Structure 1
Amino acid sequence: MAATSEIAIPQCAEDIAPCWVQQVLQKDLPGVTITDVQVKGSINQGEGFTSDIVAFDAVGIRNGASQRYSLIAKLSDFERPLTILKHWSKDFQIKVDMTEVKFYSKAVPELLSVAIPNTELKSKAGNEDNANHPVESFKFLPKCYFAATDPSSMVSVRVMENLKAQGFSIKANRQSLNHDEMMLTAGALAQLHGLSHRLELREGIPLPEKYDWIISLSDAPDVMMESVTYQYQTAVKAFAAAFPDQADLVARLEKLEMKVLELLLNEAPGLKVLNHSECWINNIMFKYTEGVPTDVKLVDWQSPRYLPPTHDLTLLFLCNTSWDVFHNHRDAILAHYHHKLMETLGPNESSGLQSYTLDQLKADFKVDCVHGVLARLFRLMVLPADPDLLQILQEIQEWGVI
């Protein structure tokens, strides 16, 4: 186990021992004594391309009572193969792992520090959402107890609550998100976006100046960007093969190739917030009660970006849901997002997103759908082209976006 100035960084599952877990938990659980750790092994539910996710239970005593904590340790795994972006270098993997460490250790405490207290939300008249979620406000991401990187090995660790043990899961076989699941996820994104904007207003400086670790694709190596262009070309060919009668739509998608790197690398105009930027099925976990989704957590925060809020939303719609939800429920979901955004910003903010109307949001969503199209095409290897995607793209084509 490699040591830092404070708490050691485990290099593998065998390093997860009671004394170490006790150190990790002491900050959030003062007085806890860990007597045993039961390591259950890897539980990677999604691709887990860059990390080994090790589940373990910690048993101990706190305040005179026996306690059991179900946790995971997310460890860098430099041997894990990359099946999509094969040119993702070790140096870039180190960067994104360290980004998630800094997100949890630096950004999350500050984001939550600017949240409107839940008691204040309860007292606001006309708050229709609070009746459904009266307690766990702003808990849209897993609790992280410890996040750090060993400077010698560059292995990162993030110790978090085990969501799977709490009943959360990723949808099996990459099934589309239904209306209720989309509403929950859009609300979670609204809270992220709103908190980041509140923090930026409080600090008085753009978030990228405060957090120089926020991912920018200009940080990616040239060989990776070449891979992205090749991947896009391959995706368009796969789409054309799936729908040979869609020559006009395919031609429009081919023309987008010239814009791919420009769209990815250029500074986006307008108001920006902290985006998850990878909010697709593998990174969204739901909890259900009698088959109804009641809670959501967004996971894998290795590539947060500073972009307009509609970037996250277009990816959410294009990569996660069906034609029916996209076409028939989009306005309701965007309205819910907007309501949660305004609620998160609070009534006392007088600038920025507070004046962002629902009509503006809907208009920006349509314009920015090109980013969602690119995100969806990049995932054709794992989310194959289907009739729902065709109908969604045809509607976006009617908007004049592609």
Structure 2
Amino acid sequence: MKTPSNACAITHEWVEFVVQQYEAKKTQPNISIKLTSFNVAQATKPGESFNAELVLLTASAELHQQSNDSESSPPLKKDYSFIVKFLSLDPFSRELIKIAKYHVRELMMYSNVVSDLNSHWLANAVNQDEDQRLCVPEYIYGICNASEYVLVMENCKANRFELKDKTQGLDLEHTMLAVQHIARLHALSRSYSLSSDLCKEYPMFKFDPVVSSLFKPVVITAIENAIKYLRTLPEHKEILAKLEKGRHGLSQKYQRMWDDQSRHQMLCLTHGDYWINNLLFRYNLNEEDGQHKLEDIKLIDWQIAQWSNPVFDLHYLLNTSTTAALRENHLNAILRHYHTTFMSISDNLKTPVPDWNFEQFMAEFGRTSLVGFLMGMCLIQGTLSKAGEKINPNAGSSSGRPGRSLTGKFKSVAAKVIVPVAVRPSSQFIIKMAIKKMLSPIAQELIEGKNTIMNDRFMELLLEAEKKGLLDVLSM
């Protein structure tokens, strides 16, 4: 049986195999499966998924209990709803993902690491009244080797989980819940690693500067887009002058700040892409007043998880997924909630944290604020723009079958040759040129000013950065 490499290659035989594996693990190994039907559909809209092809797989099956008795019980009919994740249909994205090992990290998170961390909590938590385990989609099946990759997990939306509107951002209640759960990851991973070295067990999570080196060209292009936009706004000439003067210094300072782990006061397992579209929320309907009450959360998309500074996850969430008004009015309360949660879980696991009081934590948050601003500026341009929906045209298309056409085969071969060369430090200009061409339509969209949501959020970040002095490029 061949493992599918994309949505078009999913077969009846493979789906039946996945369901069989799942039920054998979930219930009893003597259950036999007869798949009666299955359906495949794209799980994302165009432009929503840059690093993968996400597929919604629904299936129905009959479960037969194998028995030595002469009488057999009637089959149990059961429906399934899964999310299947393949490598990107775009060959250049695929090669970049393989080099950065994004796919390996995510599969390992779902298949092993989350389970290890949650088991660590169950074995060591003094007080288990409040469940402090990680909440992620259930792992169903996966394979990753030189020629095959697929990850199958539960479809949380079938269990009433849903995304928040990225154009509106998170309100205080949702932000507090998101912060609480990322603190769980950080505290659990730190505690676990004190007894079992996580990066020794799972070396793919060791800090890899290739992540920041791939992001640096995006930062440079985002700054250049901002400069083009500000040139049309004479009222902001002072910000423009600082960006023009510091366009290279800002990106260099960002990379040094990200890469120099000796400067970080705290290190643990980080999510790396912690923003509103990687959070799923579930609500309960209050019958008395008809209001929906927030009750649960799931954390998804673990491709960029690595051992790094936990404060970066907070910067990423706040600068990409909340409004300036929320940050201005509630930042201290949000950060205190994170710190309290982190310290409480660490104490509960009998691994208290020395030299990390709230003032020290806030000092580290302030020191690394430039990272948050630049990540937010990049993501807002890429995710709130209408032009961004065209960056990855294959996402959301069920017709994409890589490598079949002559053009597709040529691109696949070219990607395998070009990408390993492009990621070398001496050849970064190749990636920079490609990203500049890809993101240039966003600059035009900013200038046109028709996308008020993107323009407003973008300008809010710039004004905040100016107020904090982040645009003044100084030596570190």
Name the TM-score class by shorter chain.
0.7 to 0.9
Distance in 2, matches of 1:30 and 1:121, equals 32
- 2:108 is aligned with 1:102: yes
Distance in 2, matches of 1:88 and 1:234, equals 23
1:219 maps to what in 2?
210
Secondary structure at the counterpart of residue 300 of structure 1: coil
CA deviations on 1:274-314 (whole Å, 9 max, x unpaired) are 11110112211111234333211111111102222111001
CA deviations on 1:360-385 (whole Å, 9 max, x unpaired) are 22232222221111111212132364
- 2:241 is aligned with 1:248: no
Distance in 1, matches of 2:279 and 2:205, equals 21
Distance in 2, matches of 1:221 and 1:339, equals 29
Conserved in 2, the CA contact under 8 Å of 1:178 and 1:321?
yes
2:121 maps to what in 1?
115
Task: Please state how far the C-alpha of 1:239 moved relative to its aligned partner.
Answer: 5.1
Change in CA separation of 1:184 and 1:248 when aligned onto 2, cut-off 3 Å? same
Conserved in 2, the CA contact under 8 Å of 1:171 and 1:285?
yes
Q: How does 1:97-246 map to 2 (within 5 A)?
A: 97-116=103-122, 121-123=127-129, 130=130, 137-151=132-146, 153=147, 155-203=148-196, 205=197, 207-214=198-205, 216-219=207-210, 224=214, 227-237=217-227, 240=230, 243-246=233-236
Q: Which stretch shows the higher mean deviation, 13-22 or 317-326?
A: 13-22
CA deviations on 1:15-66 (whole Å, 9 max, x unpaired) are 5432332123422333444333522422126722222323223444488894
Conserved in 1, the CA contact under 8 Å of 2:4 and 2:10?
no
Secondary structure at the counterpart of residue 213 of structure 1: helix
Change in CA separation of 1:220 and 1:197 when aligned onto 2, cut-off 3 Å? closer
2:27 maps to what in 1?
29
1:54 maps to what in 2?
56
Secondary structure at the counterpart of residue 51 of structure 1: strand
Task: Report which structure shows greater RCO (CA 8 Å, sep ≥6).
Answer: 2
Distance in 2, matches of 1:150 and 1:279, equals 27
Conserved in 1, the CA contact under 8 Å of 2:179 and 2:337?
yes
Conserved in 2, the CA contact under 8 Å of 1:271 and 1:308?
yes
Distance in 2, matches of 1:394 and 1:88, equals 33
2:81 maps to what in 1?
71
Distance in 1, matches of 2:234 and 2:19, equals 56
2:256 maps to what in 1?
262
Secondary structure at the counterpart of residue 140 of structure 1: coil
Task: Please state how far the C-alpha of 1:265 moved relative to its aligned partner.
Answer: 3.5
Unaligned runs of 5+ in 2: 66-72, 285-290, 386-453, 472-476
Secondary structure at the counterpart of residue 383 of structure 2: coil
Secondary structure at the counterpart of residue 279 of structure 1: coil
Distance in 1, matches of 2:155 and 2:351, equals 39
* Structure that is richer in helix per residue: 2
Q: How does 1:33-44 map to 2 (within 5 A)?
A: 33-36=32-35, 37-44=37-44
Distance in 1, matches of 2:186 and 2:132, equals 14
Q: TM-score of the superposition, structure 1-length normalised?
A: 0.81
Q: Which stretch shows the higher mean deviation, 378-387 or 184-193?
A: 378-387
Distance in 2, matches of 1:348 and 1:79, equals 43
Change in CA separation of 1:326 and 1:397 when aligned onto 2, cut-off 3 Å? same
Conserved in 2, the CA contact under 8 Å of 1:315 and 1:376?
yes
Distance in 2, matches of 1:346 and 1:221, equals 32
What amino acid is the match of 2:299? L
Conserved in 2, the CA contact under 8 Å of 1:40 and 1:55?
yes
Conserved in 1, the CA contact under 8 Å of 2:266 and 2:309?
yes
Task: Please state how far the C-alpha of 1:98 moved relative to its aligned partner.
Answer: 1.9
- 2:17 is aligned with 1:13: no
2:463 maps to what in 1?
394
Q: How does 1:270-285 map to 2 (within 5 A)?
A: 270-285=265-280
Secondary structure at the counterpart of residue 382 of structure 2: coil
CA deviations on 1:173-230 (whole Å, 9 max, x unpaired) are 5321111110111011011111101111112x4x4333221274533697x4673354
What amino acid is the match of 1:231? T
Identity across matched positions, percent: 23
Higher Rg: 2
Conserved in 2, the CA contact under 8 Å of 1:9 and 1:150?
no
Task: Please state how far the C-alpha of 1:97 moved relative to its aligned partner.
Answer: 1.3
What amino acid is the match of 2:58? F
1:303 maps to what in 2?
304
Task: Please state how far the C-alpha of 1:359 moved relative to its aligned partner.
Answer: 2.5
The aligned length equals 375
Change in CA separation of 1:42 and 1:383 when aligned onto 2, cut-off 3 Å? closer
Distance in 1, matches of 2:238 and 2:463, equals 10
Q: Which stretch shows the higher mean deviation, 89-98 or 139-148?
A: 89-98
Q: Which stretch shows the higher mean deviation, 249-258 or 372-381?
A: 249-258
Change in CA separation of 1:310 and 1:226 when aligned onto 2, cut-off 3 Å? closer
1:5 maps to what in 2?
none
Q: TM-score of the superposition, structure 2-length normalised?
A: 0.69
Distance in 1, matches of 2:335 and 2:328, equals 12
Q: How does 1:273-352 map to 2 (within 5 A)?
A: 273-289=268-284, 290-347=291-348, 349-351=350-352
Secondary structure at the counterpart of residue 329 of structure 1: helix
Unaligned runs of 5+ in 1: 3-7, 82-86, 124-129, 131-135
Distance in 2, matches of 1:39 and 1:309, equals 40
